[in-house]
Amino acid sequence: MTEVVPIRIPKEVLEKIELLVRLGKYANKSEALRTIIIEHLEERKELLTYEELLSQDKKISEVAESLDEKEFLELCKAILSGRKTSVELIEEQREEIG
């Protein structure tokens, strides 16, 4: 499925697109712009990742707001309790590289 999107682009960019069409790189201007946009989104995947991160952040914020201080502390206590000390837990992270 496709949709028509009217866009304004600088004249010099349009001239380059028209040149590419004349050179036979693309069938027409629409195909050129479509391909360039698709390729750009493919190359700049981090743009979408960033959006995903933002939505993830919103989801996390909502859960964070539903937890009170006591529940957070209980959660930390449950997850961090064990045989290892705080020093050992951080040391493990540093030993990976350090």
Partner 1 sequence: MKNVYIDANIIIAAFMPEDIFFESSKKIYSKMGVDYEGYTSPLSLVEIAGVISTRLSEFPTELMPIKVRKKLQNLSSEEMAMLITYYIADRDGLNFFHVPGDAKIRIRARSVFMPTILSHALTHSLKLGLRAFDAYHYATAHDLVHLYNIPLLFLISNDKHFLKSRNTIGKLLNLTVASSDEFAQIEKL
Scanning 1-9, 19-27, 41-49, 71-79 for contacts with partner 1 by CB under 8 A, the matching segment is 71-79
Query: In this structure, which long-range contacts are made by residues 2-7, counting pairs with CB atoms below 8 Å and at least 24 apart in sequence?
Result: 7/33
Q: How far is the CB of 38 from partner 1 (least distance, A)?
A: 28
Contact partners, residue 14, CB within 8 Å, separation at least 6: 29
Can you tell me the distance from the alpha carbon of 16 to that of 34, in angstroms, rounded to the nearest whole number?
15
| 2 vs 86, beta carbon nearer partner 1 | 86
| 47 vs 73, beta carbon nearer partner 1 | 73
| Ramachandran angles phi, psi of 78, nearest 5° | -65, -45
**Total residues at the site for partner 1 (CB under 8 A)?**
30
Q: How far is the CB of 43 from partner 1 (least distance, A)?
A: 21
2 in contact with partner 1 (CB under 8 A): no
